[in-house]
Amino acid sequence: MTKLGIALVLIAPLAQAADIDAGKAKAASVCAACHGANGVSVSDTIPNLAAQRAGYIEAQLKAFKEGLRRAQTPTSPAATMSAIAAQLGADDMANVAAYFASLPGAERGAKSAQLANVAKTHVAFPEGYKESFVRYHTINFPGAKQVRQYYANKPALQAAKEGRPIPDGTVILVEVHAAKLDASNTPVAGADGFYVPEKLVGYTAMATGKDWGKDFPEMLRNGEWNYAVFTPDKQHRPGVNQAECLGCHKPLDKESYLFTLKQLAAASR
């Protein structure tokens, strides 16, 4: 190396060390909802981060933020991570990565308890929705061989019609049906192009209420929306973590956090 090169190395600013305490605070406010405050995740579908190499975690966060790791569907875990990573700066990523790397590895089979504020939902099943709601949209899900039918109550339809923000008291309910299959195990489509529903397998719902979002971390909060999943007999499905729903809908703040706002507005005309 030349004398000039040595001089440049000597005067170049040293990289700032990651702040583990700041990483712990950021992890507690956001990451813990899915990955656990101690880096032990809340479910088998979410990876543990305790004792993972900092460089790997930081690289994955950057990949999500820059779109190098893309979501295959709007509801995939990658969509949630992309929404979260988009709100993190370079220092945030380095700090969070350093914090999780500093933790001891999880014991085999260990799981974190879900955080109370994302495990609990205010959403109740809207009995009688068939009579009072409007069915406004249908979507085929080829990968799952499902068809989903979307219903909205009158406050949602009225606000969409008038171009106003979706108000408290809004309820969106989705019927999830297994599609009828032909002899080749392919979903059968009706004349309208949508799969023919054969069996109801559950419901998903989102609803708003006064201060319903106040206990969620700001980086996850969707206004006052809460989410729920119901079994076919209209009971809350146990083990649902709203953090995944919140993270998935977070980028839609300009659309009232709704993937189907345009269809809702069209149905209200």
What kind and span of H or E run contains 155?
Answer: helix 154-162
Decide if domain 17-111 falls under CATH 1.10.760.10: yes
The span from the CA of 176 to the CA of 187, in Å, is: 14
pLDDT band per the 50, 70, 90 thresholds, residue 12:
very low
Q: Which tokens hold the place of 31? A: 């990451």
Domain locations along the chain? 17-111, 119-267
Greater pLDDT, 10 or 48: 48
Q: What pLDDT, on a 0 to 100 scale, did the predictor assign at position 235?
A: 97
The span from the CA of 68 to the CA of 83, in Å, is: 13
CATH of domain 119-267: 3.50.70.20
Q: Is the pLDDT reported for residue 45 higher than 80?
A: no
Amino acid at 121: T
For residue 150, the cross-strand partners are 137, 174
Q: What pLDDT, on a 0 to 100 scale, did the predictor assign at position 8?
A: 45
* Helix then strand then coil, % of the chain, to nearest 5: 35, 15, 45
pLDDT one-digit tens code per residue, 214-254: 988 888 899 999 999 999 999 999 878 888 888 889 889 99
pLDDT one-digit tens code per residue, 113-169: 667 778 889 999 999 999 999 999 999 999 899 999 999 999 999 999 999 999 999
Q: Which tokens hold the place of 78? A: 């990658």
The span from the CA of 48 to the CA of 98, in Å, is: 14
Q: What is the pTM of this model?
A: 0.76
